[in-house]
Chains A and B, each alone.
Chain A
């Protein structure tokens, strides 16, 4: 193997990957806007993203979904750029663009040949401060969002189950509101609401630019200063101080009936994110708990529940330690034919209990750590993902430096720590559970879809 590769490997796998942090260049413009650059020269293309620290977590009942509707309206034009022209200009330059809204952020991106980066930055700077919000376009776009909601949630029983799960688990905390908004809130939304939302949250001070791909940092900083540097800094970003996540007070369970063909179960435990953890290692240990259960086909859920006892047709976990407020640790599954939700629930809870009661073997833990380390390399294959990581970490306040020590901290987790987080956090008091029961089918409804 060539020496160069060995060195790269050492940097990625054996040593704490300090080199990763060094690969992100950053600068703050005079108006407070932060700029991050991650060079990757494999192909002559570039991904640029503008991240705003505003999302579902900043919303209030009565105005849920407002961040996402505003994201849609960001394509409706400014004084200089007509409605719909944003996408048109990017496309004519051979680029793609889109945007996304989450609980913690709203982000806009363009992918272009690297010598067209200026086109994206010019347009993003323009709509950061010059957006025109017109009532007529707004009314039409809200209709589009309603259709989006129907497609994503109303007609998808499992999405409904997850909306219910979060709503019950988080009580009045905004993490319990769907990012797409409650329908009555969308019905009542006014263009004036959007104008206020835009004024408060869209400004250089509340935004960060991330550029990844075939670029040199100096050029990006120059272009960023040219297009964003003269924008007024905007108001001080509102000190978002959402209510603390409600203290869990006992197990909750919901039985949901919907037009489902297959029963389904999802449960979630309140767990800390990084800032809320009592010990810094706790979120990393929880990440490994998720890995032990569901990383690769040799992990516990596929081995024991799918291939072993056969109680589940599928089973999985989801946990991310990266969020603005403490989030949930999920387990979910579909019972195999001949098994029911009770059996699956007992099996999943049994796996949780075992994590509390029995220390994991060194060998099993090593296998999961190895997989996580390998995925970190594989994920670097995507330039988009690299930009996404940096943007997200900066926006939620972790900083991209989080990546520098990530694998080191994962490697440091011990079997005892796994057991400790399982005992402390994966408890009935912190649990919310939703069971989705298929409604009895009327004979006629299935006509024509019987397959072949």
Chain B
């Protein structure tokens, strides 16, 4: 039923319902829920194999709905953008559905729509991903995967499409400057990552986008869209043999190639940085943080459990409880670790009216500092463990959810026993381990703090800001 899929632009603006909070749920000190968690009873059998060209396949059979979801992920995110061509990965992703083989952009679009497919591509800092969702009716899925393979092996990258998609990206980037949160996020990454390839945004920067030529895109596709650089997650109604055969016939045709060398390590910050960006808005947006951890690190788990109590657990967290519940200063206040292949950021943030900014900022800083120094209480650890283990099946509910998990497990080499290990590791961490991990990764004396707002708070960022790169 319901609406036509609203364009990405319109959806958030319309009369869509308002949520109570950006993230949900939280504990505190109460009722003794049964200590057993039944998450363990839920097993998701993941099957993995490699195609002849080296592509890693992760597959789960879900026969209930007559559909297939496939996502192919390449180590070809914006961190692989060459110097001076920041935006190459973003353009490659956006151009994948703009013509392939002997199909023009219009013809490809018609083919995709006639088959009733959901077809899309995108990029982040680590990954470039392509996905297609198809019905299993007739040979729809075979045609879908064939189209996807053609898009990857014979992308057209026509001058006309390049010009158009570049111009659309430039418009989107200009529009992002309307959004104080987007402005803050970009400045935050720039400050935290300095010379590292994570510093620039995944959609690139205007000068870089303008420097990208058709040959760059072709070289990029040839280098990165190869079997040994591919993780393929598949969830749906087709059985394993059928999936295997069809994959060999389609994505199996990608050349074997080579995975790229690991990204450079992230250098630690050498001191605190405070950056103020003036913007004519009614609310100040604050982000503070540092390089955090990697997705495959062992301390991912103590940090995950610990951060739940600090600022990841919505109403369960100290930040929400102090900043929003006790003082009514911000609608959203949070902290998170966003792990990547190399150390992804730890970031805490809030938005508040200018008059309340000094108070909100000092409360947030105090809570982060205190938490890093002392760690959580045993009761907080218990609450976090109950939530994280109990809510585990929720992450595997829809085929789409499951496909996303498979992608992460495959791309970051977490191992097919990861889902079991997740529960076990979450259960076994304690307050001491969390405290150690927090202190090892975070140093409150060397945080980057970015504020976007109409008034610079007194004394903020006055002491020799690092020059903008």
Contacts and interface: CB of A to CB of B under 8 A. Distances in A.
Contact of B17 (A12, A100, A381): A100
A22 interface: no
B316 interface: yes
Interface stretch (A1-9, A29-37, A124-132, A412-420): A1-9
Contacts of A450: 468
B280 A334 contact: no
B55 interface: no
Interface string A250-271: 0000000001111000100000
Nearest to B208: A452
B67 interface: yes
Contact of B13 (A107, A145, A159, A261): A159
A315 interface: yes
A313 B398 contact: no
Interface string B24-49: 11111111010001110110000000
A247 B353 CA distance: 40
A380 interface: yes
A237 interface: no
Contacts of B277: 447-449
A144 B331 contact: yes
Given A87-B316, A332-B10, A152 B18 contact: yes
Interface in A114-163: 115-116, 119, 139-141, 143-148, 150-152, 154-159, 161-162
B100 to A, nearest CB: 13
A260 B175 CA distance: 7
B136 to A, nearest CB: 6
Contacts of B105: 307
A377 B20 CA distance: 29
Given A44-B393, A330-B14, A91 B26 contact: yes
Contacts of B362: none
Contacts of B28: 84-85, 88
Contact of A298 (B109, B186, B276, B330): B109
Interface in B28-87: 28-31, 33, 37-39, 41-42, 62-67, 69, 86
B331 to A, nearest CB: 4
Interface string A309-341: 010011111111110000000101010110000
Closest 9 CB pairs of A and B: A94-B390, A316-B7, A374-B116, A100-B17, A140-B328, A296-B113, A143-B328, A320-B3, A297-B109
A378 B118 CA distance: 9
A391 B469 CA distance: 51
Contact of A43 (B30, B187, B393): B393
Interface in B166-211: 167-168, 170-175, 177-180, 183, 186-187, 190, 199-201, 205-208
B420 to A, nearest CB: 16
A116 B390 CA distance: 10
A5 B136 contact: yes
B113 A261 contact: no
Interface centre among A75, A147, A367 (most CB of B within 10 A): A147
A95 B386 CA distance: 9
A161 to B, nearest CB: 8
Contact of B178 (A8, A84, A262, A389): A262
Nearest to B107: A298
Interface string B383-421: 100111111111011111000000000000000000000
A147 B4 contact: no
Contacts of B445: none
A154 B400 contact: no
A19 B283 CA distance: 50
A13 B170 CA distance: 41
Given A68-B18, A306-B164, A367-B114, A147 B353 contact: yes
A383 B10 CA distance: 24
B314 interface: yes
Contacts of A368: 113
Interface stretch (A218-226, A287-295, A348-356, A423-431): A287-295
Given A151-B331, A451-B206, 20 more contacts: A4-B63, A43-B42, A89-B31, A93-B33, A94-B386, A96-B394, A97-B24, A103-B15, A115-B38, A162-B13, A260-B175, A296-B112, A299-B113, A318-B14, A319-B4, A367-B114, A378-B118, A383-B398, A446-B177, A452-B200
A91 B27 contact: yes
Contacts of A406: 1
A403 interface: yes
Interface string B443-463: 000000000000000000000
Nearest to B106: A303
B208 to A, nearest CB: 8
Given A88-B315, A322-B1, A367-B114, A445 B15 contact: no
Interface in A397-416: 402-403, 406
Contact of B30 (A89, A294, A378): A89
Nearest to A40: B64
30 contacts: A9-B135, A43-B397, A87-B24, A88-B29, A88-B30, A89-B27, A91-B315, A93-B386, A94-B392, A100-B20, A105-B17, A113-B390, A119-B33, A150-B282, A150-B353, A261-B175, A262-B174, A290-B3, A295-B113, A298-B109, A314-B7, A314-B168, A317-B4, A320-B2, A332-B10, A334-B9, A370-B116, A371-B116, A448-B278, A452-B190
B351 interface: yes
A94 B15 contact: no
A164 to B, nearest CB: 12
A389 B16 CA distance: 14
A196 interface: no
Contact of A313 (B17, B29, B167, B331): B167
B178 A144 contact: no
Nearest to A398: B1
B6 interface: yes
A89 B328 CA distance: 22
A180 B27 contact: no
Contact of A367 (B113, B172, B279): B113
Contacts, number: 367
B441 interface: no
Nearest to A7: B66
B10 A316 contact: yes
Given A102-B15, A380-B65, A291 B282 contact: no
Interface in A343-372: 367-368, 370-371
Interface string B314-326: 1110000100110
B370 interface: no
Interface in B292-348: 313-316, 321, 324-325, 327-332
Contacts of B150: none
B110 interface: yes
B113 A371 contact: yes
A447 B452 CA distance: 11
A147 B21 CA distance: 12
Contacts of A95: 25, 390-391, 394
A382 B164 contact: no
B19 interface: yes
A98 interface: yes
A111 to B, nearest CB: 5
Contacts of B392: 94
Nearest to A287: B4
A374 B117 contact: yes
B352 interface: yes
Contacts of A44: 38, 41-42, 393
A147 B352 contact: yes
A71 to B, nearest CB: 6
B3 A319 contact: yes
Contacts of A381: 65, 67, 69, 398-400
A440 B311 CA distance: 39
Contacts of B178: 156-158, 259-262
A249 interface: no
Given A147-B329, A448-B277, A91 B313 contact: yes
Nearest to B391: A94
